[in-house]
Amino acid sequence: MTTTERRLRTPTHEALGLTADDLLSMYTVMRLARALAERMWLLQRGGKTPFAVTAEGHEGVQVASAWALDRGRDMVLPYYRDLGVVLAVGMSAKEVMLNALGRAADPNSGGRQLPGHWFHAELNIVSGSSPVATQIPHAAGIALASKLRGEETVTAVYFGDGATSAGDFHEGLNFAGVHRLPVVFICENNGYAISVPSSKQAAVEDLAVRAAGYGFPGVTVDGNDALAVYGATREAVERARAGEGPTFIEAKTYRLAPHTSADDDRLYRSPEEVEAWRRRDPIERLRAYLIEWDLLDKRKDEAIGATVVEEVEEAVRLAEASPEPEPESALQHVFYEKG
Partner 1 sequence: MPELTYREAIRETLREALNNDNRVFLMGEDIGAYGGAYGVTQGLLAEFGEQRVKDSPIAESVLVGAGIGAAMGGLRPIVELMTINFSLLASDQIVNAAAKMLFMSGGQITVPLIIRTVSGGGNQLGASHSQCLEGWYAQVPGLKVVSPSTPYDACGLLRSAVAEETPVMFVEHSLLYNFRGPVPDEYYTVPIGEADVKRVGSDVTIVAHLRMVHVALQAAEELAEEGIEAEVVDLRSLRPLDTDTINESVMKTNRAVVVEEGWKTGGFGAEVVSSIMEHSFDYLDAPVARVAGQEVPMPYNRDLEQAAIPRPGDVVAAVKSLV
Question: H or E element: which one contains 5?
Answer: helix 3-8
Tell me the closest approach of the beta carbon of residue 115 to partner 1, in angstroms: 12
Name which of 11 and 141 has its Cβ closer to partner 1. Answer: 141
Tell me the closest approach of the beta carbon of residue 321 to partner 1, in angstroms: 20
Count of residues that interact with partner 1, criterion CB under 8 A: 47
Closest Cα to residue 304, out of 96, 34, 88? 34
H helices of 118-225, where? 135-148, 167-178
141 binds partner 1 (CB under 8 A): yes
Residue selected from 37, 76, 140, 226 as contacting partner 1 according to rule CB under 8 A:
140
Residue selected from 22, 38, 152, 171 as contacting partner 1 according to rule CB under 8 A:
171
Residue 268 a catalytic site member: yes
Span 88-127, contacts to partner 1 by CB under 8 A: 106-113, 117, 119-121, 126-127
Q: Are 250 and 228 in contact (CB under 8 A)?
A: no
Helix axes 20-45, 298-321, angle to 10 degrees: 50
Q: Are strands 183-189 and 155-160 parallel, antiparallel or unpaired?
A: parallel
190 binds partner 1 (CB under 8 A): no
**Per-residue binding letters, 320-339, with partner 1 (x by CB under 8 A):** ------------xxxxx---
Closest Cα to residue 154, out of 223, 59, 92, 234? 234
- Active site residue: 13, 39, 239, 255, which one? 255
Closest Cα to residue 284, out of 271, 272, 301, 269? 301
Residue 158 a catalytic site member: no
What secondary structure does DSSP assign to 198-265, as a single string? GGGT-SSS-GGGGGGGGTS-EEEEETT-HHHHHHHHHHHHHHHHTT---EEEEEE----S-SSTT--G
C-alpha triplet 334, 74, 140: angle, nearest 5°: 65
What residues contact 319, with CB distance under 8 A and at least 6 apart? 94, 97, 98, 100, 101, 103
Question: H or E element: which one contains 75?
Answer: strand 75-77
Span 57-76, contacts to partner 1 by CB under 8 A: 75
- Active site residue: 117, 120, 138, 259, which one? 259
136 binds partner 1 (CB under 8 A): yes
Tell me the closest approach of the beta carbon of residue 126 to partner 1, in angstroms: 6
129 binds partner 1 (CB under 8 A): yes
Among 66-74, 169-177, 263-271, 285-293, which window interacts with partner 1 (CB under 8 A)? 169-177
Closest Cα to residue 286, out of 240, 334, 236, 222? 222
139 binds partner 1 (CB under 8 A): yes
Residue 193 φ then ψ, to 5°: -95, 95
Q: Are 191 and 164 in contact (CB under 8 A)?
A: no
Name which of 111 and 218 has its Cβ closer to partner 1. Answer: 111
178 binds partner 1 (CB under 8 A): yes
290 binds partner 1 (CB under 8 A): no
128 binds partner 1 (CB under 8 A): yes
- Active site residue: 179, 241, 268, 285, which one? 268
Name which of 82 and 225 has its Cβ closer to partner 1. Answer: 82
18 burial (CB, 10 Å; 0-12 / 13-18 / 19+) is buried
Name which of 270 and 329 has its Cβ closer to partner 1. Answer: 329
Which residues are tagged catalytic? Answer: 255, 259, 268
Where along the sequence are the contacts to partner 1 (CB under 8 A)?
A: 75, 106-113, 117, 119-121, 126-131, 134, 136-146, 148-149, 167-168, 170-172, 174-175, 178-179, 332-336
